[in-house]
């Protein structure tokens, strides 16, 4: 079953259960997917749907960080709950160590020796890890490996 179909089924379930928070988050996710499909000009693959959901999750994470700085615990709990719902549809992200292993392998394959080859390493690594790793963390790990 595709992720989009799963979201649609879960929306029906949330409607029946009168779960307002889940209903709101799933509707938002489906709307973002439909917008991406319109922009793309057709049906999205599961990988593309995951990318859309990751973007929505990243927005929630940024909002959570801002709410923590602003000391707004009443809004923070809501955002964290919404993020939790979104994360159910996302694959488990690789840890820093797992990213490091993959990065070392790609660096060895490409024979990269310094920061000058960072672009090539990142291109290959991100295509392999698409949807399974945070791009910022991958960049940080690759930078450390190539610099040190």
- The beta-carbon contacts of 61-69 under 8 Å, at least 24 apart in sequence, are none
Check pLDDT > 80 for residue 148: no
Q: Which pLDDT value is given to residue 20? A: 95
For the record, the structure tokens of 137 come out as 């963390």
CATH 1.10.10.410 in the chain is located at 96-147
Q: DSSP character for 130? A: T
Instruction: Give mean pLDDT, residues 88-97.
Output: 88
pLDDT at 117 over 90: no
Q: What is the DSSP letter of 43?
A: P
- Domain boundaries 96-147, CATH class: mainly alpha
**Can you spell out the DSSP letters for 59-110?**
HHHHHHHHHHHTT-HHHHHHHHHHHHHHHTTSPPPPPHHHHHHHHHHHHHHH
Q: Is the pLDDT of residue 47 over 90?
A: no
For the ranges 22-31, 59-68, 101-110, 128-137, the lowest mean pLDDT is seen at 128-137
Percentage of the chain beyond pLDDT 70 is: 100
- Decide which of 1.10.1510.10, 1.10.10.10, 3.20.20.80, 1.20.1300.10 is the CATH code for 3-87: 1.10.1510.10
Where does the chain hold its CATH 1.10.1510.10 domain(s)?
3-87
The SS3 of residue 46 is: helix
pLDDT of residue 80: 93
Q: What is the mean pLDDT of the chain?
A: 90
């Amino acid at each position: 079953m595709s992720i989009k179909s799963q979201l649609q089924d879960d929306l029906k379930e949330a409607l029946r259960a009168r779960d307002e928070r889940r209903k709101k988050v799933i509707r938002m996710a489906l709307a973002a997917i439909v917008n991406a499909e319109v922009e793309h000009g057709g049906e999205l693959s599961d990988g593309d749907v995951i990318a859309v959901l990751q973007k929505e999750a990243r927005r929630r994470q940024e909002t959570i960080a801002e709410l923590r700085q602003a000391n707004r615990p009443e809004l923070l709990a809501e955002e964290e709950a919404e993020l939790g719902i979104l994360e159910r549809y996302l694959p488990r992200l690789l840890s820093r160590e797992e990213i490091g292993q993959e990065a070392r392998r790609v660096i060895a394959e490409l024979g990269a020796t310094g920061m000058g080859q960072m672009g090539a390493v990142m291109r290959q690594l991100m295509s392999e890890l698409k949807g399974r790793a945070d791009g910022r963390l991958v960049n940080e790990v690759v930078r450390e490996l190539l610099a040190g």
